[in-house]
Each structure stands twice: as structure tokens, then as C-alpha cells.
Chain A
Amino acid sequence: MTINTMAKGGWHRDQMSCFRKMEKVIVAMQDPDMGMKMRNQRLLITVIPHAMTGRDIIDWLMKKNNICEEESLHISGLLVRYGYIYPLKEPRSLVLRPDESPYRFQTPYFWTSTRWPASELDYAIYLAKKNIRKQGELMEYEKERYSVLHKRINHTWDFVVMQAREQLRASKQRRKADRIVLECQEQAYWLINRPPPGARNVLDMGLERPNNTARVTLNSEHYKNEIDTCKRALGRNRVKSSICLEGFMKYSEQYQNHDPIMQGCLPSNPWISDDSAHWTMNLETVPTPTRLRVERWSFSFMELLNDVMGRREFMTYLEKEFSGENLAFWQACEDIKHGESSRIVEKVEEIYRNFLAPGAPRWVNIDSKTMDKTLSGIRHPHRFVMEDAQMHIYFLIKKDSYPRYLKSDLYKNMLAKGIVPQETKKSVFPFMRRQRHSSPSPAQVATQATEDGGNAKGAGQAGTNSAAGSNV
């Protein structure tokens, strides 16, 4: 039963933290004074000492940590799935049944964190023992793995068989009860570390990422490219940090009221109240937009343009000023940039006809340099042929028409008309309100309990009212 630890420093730190937490719970459970009361359980004709029932585990966790049954089931389920507690009946089914089913604590020798990763050698010895003990006791998948191992570590096979025989001999000299216990513990360990096919492997760490340098050859070609990239990067415009950081602050502040996670939203958050009124009010096109939405149009030009209704309103304003062709031009250019490649040529032609040709019906005013560049580019149309012209018009509208729009009556009326929804009352059925957040940390509860003994119990009871989850 000696199991070698393989990677001595190669422990994956990410699994460690949850194991340490689980081990704290386990140790508390086995505390001689405050821990669980264990009794003997009968397994067929043998009596197993120091065992407990699933029900006991759940009750103890509920009482000690002041949590509801659902949470207790969840935690104890984790303890079983990670091998800290194992079932005596139906050992292959790693679930915690809240009834009279017997469970035992796994010995620290076999804790997942103590000896991980499990070595092939130890697994081979284990399977060999099973094979020798009773011919044909191995399950189908174990037989397969056995023969695979036999091929892979054939050179040490004599050692494997010898160890297996030795361990079996040693175990025969133990009392039957102890022998069964050890066998159960070992079996539980291997069920976690070498799960049967189909069972979830809780120790799965995901894909091994290949060595970095293996993919790209660091030759002169690579360095020449690097130099070009660095030169380009060096030449970038840089803005003072203080200004940039101010920018983030302002942005967060400005959008705080528009961030439902921070401030909630009206009439109610559909995820909480199950009432989708908020979504209906904020569809792409509604008869009257909400006040918040119209407010956002004033935050930046892009906000206005990105909102279908905003764009429409702005277009109405521009038409009044006889400068609607600018926005129409911008939209047509966007369409080319993001649309199908097959239609680029026809779209470019249409733009030329409508906006750029001399005497065009919706002629846009671009400076001559950009116009010349664009016209020559049109001869070989591609996705970004209108980019310069589009940028020119964009900045024109942004600097000129946009600020005036925000000061216009049209916009101000829109803002005034904007809906500010009434907050709908909270759910009418207080009994069905579910306590979905997990309970406060036991440390907090302990101090609370000493201050006010009755309060803690009350919280626990409210918790147990919750129906079995809002599961779908």
C-alpha cells in the first residue's frame, strides 16, 4: 500500500486551496469534543467502527456552520467527490445520500492532497493485487488498464508482482475488520485518482500547454520582424498617464447610473423580478425611449450613432439643417466596411453616384485632397476605399452638427419626454422569496451567536424554507 508521490514541487497550486479548505472541515468533523459522533456500522456480517450516516454528516454541517440543508448537501457532496469521505455501501457511487447510508473518513495517508499525482507504478501494484486475490475480480476497464500498464512498464513488472504479493501477505495477517477497512480506503483512493470511464474526473487539470519556444523559431527573420514592430511601437503617440486615468474615472462615474449591476435598473431588473418590462422598454425601436437612453446620446458621438433610434433622431435634425447627406454618406461607408465582399463594387458605385460625382443628388463636401485620393481609389474598389472620406465627414459631423444637436430643442424635447419608469413593487409573495446567497462565514456567525443566541437560529430556519433551488 505504499504509494509514491511523484511531482515533489510540481503540485498545482490551484487545487491546493480548495483541498486545504476541505481538510479544515474534515479535521473539525473529527474533533474529539465538537466533532461528529461516530458509531459502528454493520456491513454484511462485519462491524465497521468509526462510521457515520449521511444524515449525521448533513446535520452536523448544518449545525456547526449554521447553513441550510441545501448548502450542507452541496458541501458534503464535494467532500465525497474529492475523496475525503467515502461510502461503505455502493462504493462506486460517489454521492452523499442524506439517509442511513454509512460513510467513513478517508485516512490522511490516502488524501488526494497528500499523495498526488498518483503514480502508474502504484496503480499497477493495486491492480495486480486485485488480480491475484481473486481471479476475474477486475472490472472490464481495469482489465484494459492493467494490460496497458503491463506493456508500458513491462521492465519493472517483476517488481510490481512481487510488491503485490508482499502487500497481500502482510494484509492477511491483519484482523478481518482492519483488512476490509484498508481495502475500502484504497479502493476509494483509486476511484478518485483513476476514475472509471464515464465518471467525472475531479482532478482533471485541462490541456497541457506545449512549451512556448517549440512553436516559433527564433531566427534572424523573426528578429527582423521584431525590430520593425518595435520601431512602429516606439513611434506611437503617448498621452500623459494622469490624463488617461482621469478619463477612466470620469467614464465610470458617468456610466454608473447606467450600470444595472452597480445601481440596479427601473422598473425592475428582469433577472430578479421575472418581469421583462425593462427589456420591452429598451428594445431597439420603441415609440418613446427611456430618459437614461436619451441621456447616453449626449455622452459621446459613438453612443448616439450606435443607437438605432438615436441615429434616426439625429438624421431628422440634420435633414432640418439640410446636412442629412453627411450622415447618409457615413452610413453607406459603414455598410461597405462591414458588409459582404461580393457587394463592395456595387456599393462603391452607388456611393459615387449619390454622394461624390459632380452634380450628385446628395453631394458631400470633402476637401479636394481627400476627394482626389478617394476618386482614384474608386477605380480599384476595396473594403476601406472610402475610409479617408468617411473619417473626414465623421469628424465634421462630430465637431459641428453633434454639439448643436445636443443643444437643440429636438434633443431637449426627447430628453424631457423620455420615460422614467416607476419601480415595480418587490415580489408579492414573500414566502417564496428564496435565500439564494450563501450564509455568512461561520466565523461571523460564531460572534453573532455569542452576542445574540436567538438570532443565529432564526437565520438558519429562514434558510431551510428555500425550496430545492431555482433550477431549470
Chain B
Amino acid sequence: MAAEKAEMDVLKKECDGLRTQIEAARKGVNDGNMATAAGSATDVGRVQLKLRKSLKGHLAKIYSMHWASDSRSMVSASQDGKLLVWDSHTGNKLVAVPLKSAWVMSVAFAPSGNLVASGGLDNMCTVYNIKAASPKTLRELDAHTGYLSCARFLSDSEILTASGDTTCCLWDLETGKQKIVFTNHIGDCMSLALSPDENTFVSGACDSLAKLWDLREGTCKQTFSGHTSDINAIQFFPNGKAFVTGSDDCACKMYDLRSDQEVITYQDASLNAGVTSLTLSNSGRLIFAGYDDFNCHIWDSLKGEKVGVLSGHDNRVSCTGVPADGMGVCTGSWDSFLKLWN
């Protein structure tokens, strides 16, 4: 027993040593800060977005939503046991998918628009074909030992999932089997985001760390720390060279992949609620972050200032999304409504 413990201590020490070295290397390249770099950027001013549509249809909390690549349809999941595919322009419901398990936590639209996936406390990711006459279950991906917190399609044949069992997983949809399991987090994985070139992805977890993974090799390429509580939301900056995280510690942070460190924190003393979700506008200049205080606050990503707020929900904002053409923002809430703003 003592020998084992001694061995562990030695390993721990080596680990800590390496981490210190990484921090030193990061400091070494840190020759500028966002405040000075953004000094020359034009001021965004006060961003006032108007509520354009309120989509009613769900009967219980909305947990997740995702835009389709045509920027018109979107899918939303609610704990009333339904997935609804909406036409955001007319406000009509196009497809209703009844779920076997009502405890859904995440939903995703495939880039082709043919498939949607959902999962939650049933530990499974179920993929549906919504182009069939009536929505058909294509696959039930069942191997996680914890709840499914997030799913994202790479194509019609591959899907990436994040789970409460601390792992992320790449699945082959043809065989329904796991291709790669990404293990390294020590807390529930809450969220993931695919890089625009689909070679890497980032994940945020309850261990307050964000990790960058190589999709091909299945390894963790880098770990980013800084948050002091669960990371709930994560999104790439549109050029794919940085990502933004939102956490229960009430702050959002941007991490740069090339200089390998945190570049800016979005925090305000008056904002005392955890961040549940976030999304960025097409130019990356605006960050829309949904909070537990029922609002979605807008941040200037470069200057680090709060520039607006979207108020209108009666309960926490659980999901936000900007479509591919950047037309506006959609917020979904536990009050069972989806709202479109721009």
C-alpha cells in the first residue's frame, strides 16, 4: 500500500512539474493583451436587438436547440418528450418527433438536414431520420455510462457525443458502434464544439477545464484552465483559432489555440448568475451568453464589455444559437418558449 502511494506521489509530482512548465511556456509567448490589441477596434455601441418571433409549442422546459445548415429550420428539445423541427421564418412546426425518454438534454441537426439526434438521462444518443414520411429511429447509440449532455454531427455517417460519464465519443452511424472514446476529463462533460475544419474539437466539463482533442488520433492535445466551476457551454470563434467558454462561476472566457492560453474574461460584478449557453455572431464580434438570471447578455468579444441584453424569458435561458447565415439569435428557455431576435 505504502509503495503504491509512494509511486502515485512521484507521478503526481511529475505531473505538476510538467504543468508548471506548460504555464511557463505560455507566459513566454504572452507579449500582448486583448485590451491593447482591441484599442483600435471601432466601438460597437449599445446593441439593441428586438424580439421578432416567439415560438410556442413546447409544454415543458426547453433544454436544447440547434440550427440546421440552411439557416431556416431548427430543432428544439423539451422535457415534454418531444423534438420539434421549426421553420423559423413562418414559425410553423415542420416535424414533431416523439421521444422514448422525456429526459432529453441535448439535440443536434445534421449538416445535410436529413438527421437529428437527441439524448439525455437515458444515456443514449438516438438518431432520427426526419426526411422519411414519419420520423424513423435510425440508430440508438448506447454505450455511455452517464447522461448525454451534448451531440454534434460531423456528417450523416459520424457523430460526436459528450457525456456525464466524463468521456466524449465519436460514433460510426452505419454500424452504430463507437469509433473513438476520448477520455481525460475528471468531471461530467457538459458541452462540446467542432472546429470549422472538423479536425479537432473542444469540450468543457464539470472539472472546470476545457480540452482540445484531435479527432483522428483520439488524444487530448491541450488543457485549458482558469474557470472555478463547471463549464456549461463552449463555442469556437468563427476563424477556428480560438474558443469561448461559459461557466457556473458566472464568467465567460476566450482561449486562443495558437498562443495556447486564455486571452480574456467576460465578467461583470453585477452578473451573479451562472452561464448556461453561448453562441457568437458571424464576425465573432458579439457573444450571446444565456444566464440563469433569465436573460441573455451580449458581450463585445474584443473589448470585453457588456453591450446589450435580451430580456423576455420567464425562466433561465438554457440554449442559444446563431444560424449559419448569421441572421439573428435564437434563445430557448425553461419557460418553454423559443425567441428569435435581431
A residues lining the B interface (CB < 8 Å): 13-18, 74, 77-78, 81, 200, 202, 204, 207, 209-210, 212-213, 215-216, 218-220, 222-227, 229-234, 236-249, 251-256, 258-262, 265, 269-272, 274, 276, 279, 282, 302, 338-342, 384, 387, 436-438, 469-472
Contacts and interface: CB of A to CB of B under 8 A. Distances in A.
A220 B157 CA distance: 37
B140 interface: no
A223 B15 contact: yes
5 contacts: A15-B292, A229-B184, A236-B221, A272-B342, A437-B50
B101 interface: no
Interface of B: 4, 7-8, 11-12, 14-15, 18-19, 21-22, 25-26, 28-34, 37-38, 40-41, 44, 47-57, 60-61, 71-72, 88-92, 121, 146-147, 154-155, 157-158, 164-166, 172, 174-175, 183-188, 196-198, 206-207, 216, 219-223, 230, 237-239, 241-242, 256, 258-261, 263, 272-274, 281-286, 291-294, 301-302, 311-312, 314-316, 322, 325-329, 334, 340, 342
Nearest to B103: A207
A387 B285 CA distance: 33
Nearest to B223: A233
B225 to A, nearest CB: 12
B26 A271 contact: no
Given A216-B166, A262-B44, A269-B342, 18 more contacts: A14-B272, A17-B293, A200-B60, A212-B206, A220-B7, A227-B11, A245-B32, A251-B237, A258-B326, A259-B282, A259-B326, A260-B327, A269-B328, A341-B175, A438-B311, A469-B54, A471-B56, A472-B54
B283 A262 contact: yes
A212 B187 contact: yes
B188 A209 contact: yes
B37 A245 contact: yes
B89 A239 contact: no
B177 to A, nearest CB: 10
A438 B91 contact: no
Contacts of B175: 341
A329 B207 CA distance: 43
Contacts of A276: 89
Nearest to B39: A249
A388 to B, nearest CB: 12
A247 B25 contact: no
Given A17-B273, A262-B285, A241 B30 contact: yes
Contacts of B285: 252, 256, 259, 262
Contacts of B206: 209, 212
Nearest to B91: A472
B11 A247 contact: no
Contacts of B188: 209-210, 212, 215
A241 B259 contact: yes
A240 B293 contact: no
A73 B295 CA distance: 19
A216 B188 CA distance: 10
Name B's interface SS: loop
Contacts of B241: 244, 247-248
B5 to A, nearest CB: 10
A261 B239 contact: no
B29 A472 contact: no
A242 B328 contact: no
A208 B47 CA distance: 35
B325 A260 contact: yes
A200 B334 CA distance: 10
B15 A240 contact: no
A244 B259 contact: yes
Contacts of B48: 437
Contact of B49 (A215, A261, A279, A342): A261
B34 A245 contact: yes
A252 B56 CA distance: 34
Contact of A229 (B7, B219, B293): B219
Contacts of A262: 44, 281, 283, 285-286
B342 A338 contact: no
Contact of B238 (A230, A231, A251): A251
A188 B18 CA distance: 58
Contacts of A271: 52-53, 88-89, 327-328, 340, 342
B186 A270 contact: no
Most B CB contacts (10 A, CB to CB) among A226, A252, A253, A472 go to A252
Contacts of B72: 279
B283 A341 contact: no
A218 to B, nearest CB: 7
A303 B14 CA distance: 44
Contacts of A260: 282, 325-328, 342
Contacts of A274: 89
Contacts of A222: 186
A261 to B, nearest CB: 5
A14 B327 contact: no
Given A437-B51, A472-B53, A472-B91, A252 B216 contact: no
Nearest to B61: A204
Given A238-B260, A241-B30, A269-B342, A224 B89 contact: no
Contact of B186 (A15, A213, A256, A387): A213
Closest 8 pairs between A and B when the two form their complex, measured CB to CB: A472-B91, A242-B32, A14-B292, A245-B37, A230-B18, A255-B283, A259-B283, A223-B11
B273 to A, nearest CB: 4
